[in-house]
Amino acid sequence: MKGLYIHIPFCEYICHYCDFVKRVPKNKEMIDEYLQALVKEINQYKDHFESIETIYIGGGTPSMLDQDQLVFLLSHLKDIHPVEFSIEVNPESYTKQKGEIFKKYGINRVSLGVQTFNQDLLHYLNRGHTNDQVFEVVKHLKDIGIELISVDLIYAIPKQTYEDLKYDLIMINKLDISHVSCYSLILEEKTYFYHQYMRGNFKQVDEDVEATMYKMVMDELKKQGFEHYEISNFAKDGHYSFHNLIYWTLGEYIGVGLGAHGFVDGKRTYNERALSKYLDHYLKEETTQIKEMLIQDELIFGLRKISGVNINELENKYDIKLFETYPNLQEKIDIGLVEIDKGYLKLTKQGLFLGNQVFMVFI
């Protein structure tokens, strides 16, 4: 599969934990100018249009584009016919008219930024929506036939109790959606929370609490009929995120927009992250992946999948012997973080939570 990732780096406000490439736009003209440059970049990849099978419009907040801006962007993608076409939506910037535009231009999957259903915690994260808005968006999307709906959740938020998380998972059940992405809150540099942390005003959740919460998420979503198919992702009835599976299986994807990166013809591309530079010349760097890097990526991304990595396929593809190349891997098996199951190298239940300790072996 080949994917196209399109980055919209604008948000109405900045969440306190966010380290994505984003900014609050000065005015509508700033977004218009960006979209002009973005479309130019998209058109550079016209030769690939026929082979693109997934499109993912992410951000930032793509749903904050106004109707004209959405039509402008989407109309430039009409010659691509993906099987999966996703867009990220924040509940407060969705309107029925925008939903109709999504539908008209072939968007068939929406990833909804919810994070939590607790209003105090939402406020603490600096998010600006209400639970009613979440339910209204999901209802309208279903009404117009966009059935593939994913919700993003965050757990291990300071002050979040087990009861709060339980409530979030009950709400997920009520929404009756096909996909959930659930990440623990990570303290990233250059965020509001990080500044608070440096001043002693932010305390990260204890690791044991975080592990218990992760287990709660896994157990409850399983009960609700979700399949846990990637460290942080859960799907019902095989409705995986095919676009994200491209990343996890080292497939090809084109990345366009501010700060986007791609992987095409064995080369990694990295776009400019500063808006003024991007408007002038989008590509910052292009590097050919050497074999060692490819193997490392195959293992690190591949182990994120619950199904793991097929050892034979990997060894044949790169002409290596896994345990000769990574002798320290055995130690991770011995301490129960990794296992071999029917020819696949996989993280164990414990390893799912401590994946980074395993990934270090390959770096």
Q: Which of 3, 25, 60, 91 binds ligand SF4 (CB under 6 A)?
A: 60
Which DSSP state fits 305? B
Considering the complex, state which of residue 20 and residue 362 has its C-beta at the smaller distance from ligand SF4: 20
Considering the complex, state which of residue 153 and residue 314 has its C-beta at the smaller distance from ligand SF4: 153
**How many angstroms separate the CA atoms of 156 and 151, rounded?**
17
**How many residues sit close enough to ligand SF4 to count as binding (CB under 6 A)?**
11
11 binds ligand SF4 (CB under 6 A): yes
Stretch that binds ligand SF4, among 16-24, 97-105, 130-138, 321-329 (CB under 6 A): 16-24
**How many angstroms separate the CA atoms of 71 and 77, rounded?**
10
**How many angstroms separate the CA atoms of 137 and 155, rounded?**
22
Mention every residue, 6+ apart, whose C-beta is less than 8 A from residue 184: 154, 155, 156, 205, 210, 213, 214
Considering the complex, state which of residue 115 and residue 296 has its C-beta at the smaller distance from ligand SF4: 115
* Residue 261: strand pairing partners: 270
Reported as type and span, the H/E element at residue 112 is strand 109-115
Task: State the number of CA atoms in the 13 A half-sphere of 356 facing the CB.
Answer: 0
18 binds ligand SF4 (CB under 6 A): yes
Stretch that binds ligand SF4, among 11-19, 35-43, 264-272, 305-313 (CB under 6 A): 11-19
194 binds ligand SF4 (CB under 6 A): no
59 binds ligand SF4 (CB under 6 A): yes
Q: Which of residues 102-161 bind ligand SF4 (CB under 6 A)?
A: 113
Rounded to 5°, the CA angle 97-53-307 comes to 110
Considering the complex, state which of residue 24 and residue 293 has its C-beta at the smaller distance from ligand SF4: 24
Give the interface with ligand SF4 as residue ranges (CB under 6 A).
Answer: 11, 14-15, 18, 20, 22, 59-61, 90, 113
